[in-house]
Amino acid sequence: MIAATVFDVLLALVMLVLAWRAVNDGELFRAVVSFVALGLVMAVAWFRLSAPDLALAEAAVGGGLTGALMLAALRRWTGDGRNCDEPPDRGPA
């Protein structure tokens, strides 16, 4: 019983930290990775709350599909996915 409570408290703390990092991280790649990790940790939280259907949906959509779309958009934005602080140089207008 105590181990389950400790796990639930740690799960809640990890979710708060990942949510804060996803919103406040200065580097976009790390923010996207934090968002994907948050989706996967939320899937575990839904499973702990006895909602396996929501856990599967969260893992598929929140952790998988949305994360993949964000990483693809980030790669397209920067061209190589490494320098995420500035938009790419488009050359003379």
pLDDT tens, per residue, the chain with 93 residues: 788 899 999 999 999 999 999 999 888 889 889 999 999 999 999 999 999 998 999 888 878 888 888 888 888 877 655 555 555 556 565
DSSP alpha helix (H) spans, the chain: 2-24, 28-48, 52-57, 66-78
